Each structure stands twice: as structure tokens, then as C-alpha cells.
Structure 1
Amino acid sequence: MKVLVTARLPEAVVGKIREAGHEVDMHLHMAPLERDQLLNRMEGVAGLLSTITDRIDGEVFDRAPGLRVVANYGVGFDHIDVAEATRRGILVTNTPGVLTDATADLTFALILAVARRVVEGDHRTRSGKFQFWAPLHFLGTEVSGKTLGIVGLGRIGRAVARRARGFDMQVLYTARKPLGRDEEERLGVRFAPLDQLLARSDFVSLHVPLTPETHHLIGARELSLMKPFAYLINTARGPVVDETALLEALRQRRIGGAGLDVYENEPQLTPGLADLQNVVLLPHVGSATVETRTRMAQMAVENLLAGLSGHRPPHGLNWEAVQGKRGKGR
């Protein structure tokens, strides 16, 4: 069967698709596949290994009537119309769990970077502006002993909570369903409704998926509840934050700063955001370690091959529903 891989992946991993007897069409450039190119290359495709930069919807499905599986290279799948895929009997998979530690590590990198003005200090030193040491010069804020608010206590949120222990931080969390007391004790966390968490935290870290309910979860009202010296960290999805409202809060110093790895209209930034010194901006690198990205590719290929062979994939999002559709005839 024909497989389209929309991003350049390690040949050792992609080779397993060929070893299984399938034809592979892989996008070889580093830049994402353009929309028209994606549509044009869908003809005859039975398996699609796509990434978070690809919008996978009915228009894509129309180009490949024989499409059996969409194997997403990534955890989030808000860019895939899963409901439409299910209606058409197309299996959708993702790669959960594998990027937990890498993203949690990056979350703390951002916390430390904004609190201690790491990026700003690097720029100042490189430009030759480091000319003296003084007691009140270039002050940041300590991380140890502060209160960390985690919005969304899934795999990554829990990993961030575990790392916070090493900094003796008090950890608050909010989630759709609070943990039991024993589990809270084990993780060293305490539940707080979102408004209380925002008001009490020195650092607020977002770890929720993008859904209609979480779109602009953090807007002008929520930012106004934060302490004037608190920091917002987002390694989840860009549209969880109203970026225009965040820009104004940062400009007016209503919060201390922010650390962002994702953006509302990625890869574009809200005009003016890049001009601010109290925000650290990264190019969506939460999972960008050799170990994690390789394992993501391996998981995506495993899901793809299972789906093409009619077997249950390790990480199917709609397996049961699709089986029901196929049982009734696609």
C-alpha cells in the first residue's frame, strides 16, 4: 500500500514501512509540506503519517478514498478532524507519553529562564554590555520555595510537579477531576480552582489539550488575577492563551513575565511580542530531543503499520468506533 510521510524522519525508522512491503512517499524538506502539496500527494494513499503542522480534514480525506489510517507524529490531535475520520472509517492514532519528560524539562527551563533573566543576560553579555557587577544590578527572582500552579495534571503536568519537588515548591493544580487525597500526598500537590490558583501562584504552567473549552482559557480576566510579579509558562498549545491579552499584560507589567514555546497563530507571533524583554520565546521545541523525536517516529510507524494490517494500534484514538463502522461496511 502507498504511505505518505509528511515530514522528514530518520531513514532507519521509515525503512520499517518499506520492509513491511509498502511504498513510501516522504517529504524530504525541513519546512512543512504546503497545503496544496499535501492534497496533491494524497492520491492513492492508504496510510498517512502526518505531523501537527498538517491540517487533516474532509478535504484531505476526499483525495484518498482508500485511506485507512492517519498516524499522527505527536500527542495533540486538534489539527485532525477525528470525528470526520471516524465517520469515514479512518483510524487515527497519536504518540502519547513519549514526550512527557522532554516537555517537563523544557517547562522548567522556561521557568528558570524567565525568573533569572537568562536569555536577556546572554544577549547583554554577547553585546558587550556586561561591564560591571553591582548588588542591585540585573536582579531576577528565586524559583526555590515559590508556589507553582499547574493547569492540567495529566502526564506532563505530573512530571512538572515531580520536578518542582527539587525546588521545594508548593504546588497547586487544577483539573477537571481532582485527585484523591492519597494521590495528592504522593505527588505533593493541592487542588485549587483556576481563579484561586492564578491568584496564589508565583508561576503558572499550562498543560491542557486544546479543546473548545480550553481555547483562550487564559485571557485578560485570568491574567488580571495573577500576581504582578508572577510568570506564565505555556508549553501546551498556543490558543489556550489569548496572545493579544498576554501582550498587553506584559507591556503594562501587570504580570512579571512569560515563557512561551507555543503560539496562538504559530509560527506567527502577535506583533510586538518579540520586542518585549520580559518574555522568553522558543520555537515549539518541547519534544525536541534526539531521544524523544526518534521514539515518536518509532511509535507513529508502529501505529501506522498496525492500522494498515487491520490490527489494533498501540495508541488508537478511535479504534472501537472505526471497527464498528467497518463492521457495517464503510
Structure 2
Amino acid sequence: MKTLFLGALAARVAPRILAKMAEKDKIEPTIQADLNDQQKMIPALAEAEIVVCHIWREDFPQAPRLKLMQTATAGIDWIEIPALPSGVTVCNVFGHEPAIAEYIMGTMLALTLRLFQTVEDFRGGSWGGHQPAGGSPHGEIFGRTIGIVGYGRIGRDVAKRAASFGCKVIAANRSPIADKGDAAEIYPLAELDQMLPHCDVVVVAAGLAPETRNLLDARRIGLMKPTALVINIGRAPIINEDALFDALSNNRLGGAALDVWWQHFQPDQPNRRPSRHPFQELRNVLMTPHCSGFTDGTSDRRWGDLAANLDRFVRGETLHNIVLHT
């Protein structure tokens, strides 16, 4: 069964995936990292029944035999679905939930404790965080209300951890949820306006869709407490870029941890700034380069699950993590 590992990411992890496959002897793998080498892509895609990738563009050569597109990521933002041939099953892969949930709890604690500011100030000679020196107390997350926008796999893992810290968890979700898990209350996304004023921390864990783009605009940010924290590990365009910077720079929000951005890294622009605004100048912002889920544990889980799905396809079994059929 002809299998193409297409693109730099798929090419890099192909050996690990193949090593985990039980049915690897039944596939014929081809690895191509360069998405711009059309001459090599034409014969590879002409025969491929399986493609492992995270990017698909309309200018790619035809893939008439393609039956399974297995993405190497959870998001399918870079897959141009209309460009796929008919009869293709698209599956994604997860495994990043524990890592991202830990990132969320870590940044939540760091912001609440003013950890990085205190360390920086103390290194500079200030005892401002010390009570006898007249310092102001930092916060704690015990008893705080954590609002999660997007109550899927990541949201549930966050709820479990936040509840163990003594937080009250509420959430908003696009679709109805029968099992609330560790959340005390689930709001329909249409009632987000009612949820936001209660939140001490707003965690954005939703996917990007027409109904979530610009979801947290200036009006909704204005509904939040001026001390509220915002943590975004979903997609940057869910939050209005201008409104968020304005609120943070004018102390209308307590702080933010941002792992997703409006402008992305490009190989030919390695030092590209992630926003048109200077978030890096704000002391109440923690900035990371979309790395919250990038751990050794995520890699082990993700490539193991991906290999298992390829095995299922080879054996004619039911696939996991089906996103859509074309």
C-alpha cells in the first residue's frame, strides 16, 4: 500500500511512526519533505493511497488513488479541504492534552503569583514582594473561577487539574455536552456574555471556526473583570488582536499567557514578530512560540496513535479521530 510522508514535519517523524507500526511490512513508504518540488510529488501522489502530512494545497498534483489523509497534527487549518479528491477520509491526531493542560496551569500560577515579575525585580535588587518591605501580596488560584471556552479534550484536562487546586470551573461550548466532568456549569457558546463576568481566568481552548473567529472582541473583553487573566492556547484569531493589546496595556485585564499568534514563524523570516503590537513590552504578558503541547510525552503518544491508525487502515478496521469524508 503506497504511503507518502509529505512535508517537513511528516518527513522528520516518519521513522518514529514506522517503528511503531505493527503492519509496516504491508506499506511502501515514500518520504518527501519539499512541498515545492512538483516533479517529485507528481509520481508520488499519483500512486499514494495514504498521505501523512499537515499541509495540503490546491496547487498540489493530483492524487487519484488517495483514500486516507492522516494529519500529523490536531488542527487541520493548513489542509485545503476543497482541493482534496472525493472519497478521502481525513483523520487527525491528538496526544497533546496533558502537556497543554500543564502549560495552562503553569502559566495561570505564574501570572497569579506574579512569579516572573517578582523574580526579575528581586534580581534587580527590589524587595517589593516582601511583606516587611511594604510589598503588596500576590494572588492565589484557590477559590477562583476558571472559565473555559471550548470544553473538548484539552478543556476537560484543564478542568480536572483546576478542580484539584480548589478552583470552580465553568465552561462554554458550541455543542451540547451531557457529561460535565469537573465543570460546575456548561454554558452554550451563545451565552458566553453571561459566563465571562464570573471568570477570574478565561482559558481559550476552542478551535477556529466561523462562529469562534473574533469571539473575544472589545465588547466581550469589556465584560471581563479588570483583574481577569486570559490564557489562549486555541487559535489567535479567536481573540481580537487590537482589543486584547489595548486592554492589557491599559490595565483593563490582569494579564495574559499567549501561545498562539496572529503572525506565524516562516523559515525565510525566522525573527518575525508574532503580532503587529509590541506584546513583548508588557510585563503582564507571558509569551511562548506555540510550544505548549511540544513535549516528549506528546510526541510518544501522538506518533503511537498515528501509527495505530495506519495499522487500522491497512487491516480494514474502523479508523479513529475521523474529521471528515470528502
2:289 equivalent to 1:291: no
CA distance in 2, matches of 1:83, 1:189: 40
Among all aligned residue pairs of Structure 1 and Structure 2, give the percentage whose two residues are the same amino acid: 27
CA distance in 2, matches of 1:123, 1:48: 48
CA distance in 1, matches of 2:274, 2:137: 27
Per-residue Cα deviation, 1:276-307 (whole angstroms, up to 9, x for no partner): 11111112123222122122122223334544
Question: Secondary structure at the residue paired with 1:210?
Answer: coil
2:274 equivalent to 1:269: yes
| 1:130 CA drift (Å) | 3.8
- In structure 2, what is the equivalent of residue 57 of structure 1? 57
CA distance in 2, matches of 1:177, 1:70: 26
1:99 to 74, 96, 99: 96
Contact 2:5 2:51 in 1 (8 A): yes
| 1:313 CA drift (Å) | 2.4
Residue identity opposite 2:36 in structure 1: D
Contact 1:50 1:70 in 2 (8 A): yes
| 1:238 CA drift (Å) | 1.7
| 1:254 CA drift (Å) | 0.9
Q: What are the ranges of 5 or more consecutive residues in structure 1 without an aligned counterpart?
A: 28-32, 323-330
2:212 equivalent to 1:214: yes
TM-score, normalised relative to structure 2 = 0.82
Contact 1:261 1:282 in 2 (8 A): yes
- In structure 1, what is the equivalent of residue 269 of structure 2? none
CA distance in 2, matches of 1:73, 1:18: 17
Question: Secondary structure at the residue paired with 2:322?
Answer: coil
| 1:251 CA drift (Å) | 0.9
- In structure 1, what is the equivalent of residue 186 of structure 2? 191
2:110 equivalent to 1:109: no
2:243 to 239, 242, 245: 245
| 1:188 CA drift (Å) | 4.3
- In structure 1, what is the equivalent of residue 141 of structure 2? 143
- In structure 1, what is the equivalent of residue 77 of structure 2? 78
1:7-26 counterparts in 2 under 5 A?
Answer: 7=9, 8-9=12-13, 11-15=15-19, 16=21, 19-25=25-31
| 1:211 CA drift (Å) | 0.8
Contact 2:5 2:14 in 1 (8 A): no
Residue identity opposite 1:302 in structure 2: A
| 1:121 CA drift (Å) | 3.7
CA RMSD of aligned residues (A): 2.6
CA distance in 2, matches of 1:110, 1:41: 44
Question: Secondary structure at the residue paired with 1:296?
Answer: helix
Residue identity opposite 1:269 in structure 2: P
Contact 1:4 1:41 in 2 (8 A): no
Q: What are the ranges of 5 or more consecutive residues in structure 2 without an aligned counterpart?
A: 266-272
| 1:194 CA drift (Å) | 0.7
Cα 1:200/1:308, change in 2 over 3 Å: same
- In structure 2, what is the equivalent of residue 236 of structure 1? 234
- In structure 2, what is the equivalent of residue 328 of structure 1? none
TM-score, normalised relative to structure 1 = 0.81
CA distance in 1, matches of 2:24, 2:161: 41
CA distance in 1, matches of 2:116, 2:18: 37
Aligned positions, number:
302
